[in-house]
Amino acid sequence: MTIAQGEIVHVQGYDLRFDRLTTRQEPQRRVLVAELTVLDPETGQEVVRLQPSLNLYPAASEPIGTPSIRFGTPFNGMLDLYASLVTVENGTRASFRFFANPGIGLLWFGGAVMALGGIVAAWPSRPRAASPRGHEPLAERREEVTV
């Protein structure tokens, strides 16, 4: 989606506002940083600010994007928000990709449960207690048979 500076669009259950575009010069690259504000459409309150960017390297023919991610927590339903800056038009309009991924935190939680299960399975077992008198294991109770 392409958004003009100051414009608000509704995407994936959220309102996005493109606030501004800044440029930062670094020794090896020029970085274009877009500032997006994610708003709750019902209340109009700010949920989070995201800052996706495009990295322009002198020797590269295409810019390289750096997405901005807001990781979910158990308090917000484990919903991750991703925003990527795709293109910039005249510094006043920009194209973005925006994703709201529910349940990503549950994948991490499931991986932790599996790792914990592996540790428990690999944990050394307790040595077996000695058997009571007269009850030796079958392998030790061999009777000699004479024919």
- Express each pLDDT in 132-145 by its tens digit: 665 555 555 556 66
pLDDT at 111 over 80: yes
**Of 14-18, 57-61, 76-80, minimum mean pLDDT range:** 76-80
- Express each pLDDT in 43-59 by its tens digit: 888 888 999 999 999 98
pLDDT at 113 over 90: yes
Q: For the chain, give the DSSP string.
A: -EEETT-EEEETTEEEEEEEEEEEE-SS-EEEEEEEEEE-TTT--EEEEE--EEEE-TT-SS-EEE-EEE---GGGTSEEEEEEEEEEETTTEEEEEEEEEETHHHHHHHHHHHHHHHHHHHSPPPPPPPPPTT---GGG-PPP---
pLDDT for 136: 57
How many CB atoms within 10 Å of residue 34?
25
Alpha carbon distance 84, 90 (integer Å): 18
Give the mean model confidence (pLDDT) for residues 111-133.
Answer: 82
pLDDT for 11: 85
Does the residue 144 lie in any domain?
Answer: no
Does the residue 80 lie in any domain?
Answer: yes
Confidence of residue 146 (pLDDT cuts 50, 70, 90): low
What is the distance of C-alpha 34 from the center of its chain? Answer: 21
Does the residue 28 lie in any domain?
Answer: yes
Give the mean model confidence (pLDDT) for residues 92-111.
Answer: 82
pLDDT for 81: 84
Q: Check the CA dihedral 136-139-140-141 and report its sign.
A: positive
Does the residue 93 lie in any domain?
Answer: yes
144: CB partners within 8 A, 6+ apart: none
**Tokens read off for 68:** 């901005």
pLDDT at 61 over 80: yes
pLDDT for 45: 86
- Domain range holding 101? 2-122
Does the residue 74 lie in any domain?
Answer: yes
Total domain count, the chain: 1
Does the residue 17 lie in any domain?
Answer: yes
Does the residue 43 lie in any domain?
Answer: yes
